[in-house]
Structure 1
């Protein structure tokens, strides 16, 4: 899954959470930030791994 799709899913989760009133806004933002950070770390790892070959 591309990081674009990943970020899009995170955004959809935030919108859903705000509509439902389930999550406080800060928690939703933190979850999206965490998802983006994981995607970036994964991309960096894959680039590093492919560069070693």
Structure 2
């Protein structure tokens, strides 16, 4: 993940934390996170839950 993408990810996570949509966790379980560029140039946070759902 590039520095610019990492900064966007941090911004989006801060927003989700402020809105209480997510909360910090120390769980050993997790899912890969990536940013996907939308048609308008903005970034969309995507989480791959396929392995967790098996």
TM-score for both structures, normalised by structure 1: 0.42
| Greater RCO, 1 or 2 (C-alpha within 8 Å, sep 6+) | 1
Name the TM-score, length of structure 2 as normaliser: 0.41
Higher helix share: 1
Q: Which structure: greater strand fraction?
A: 2
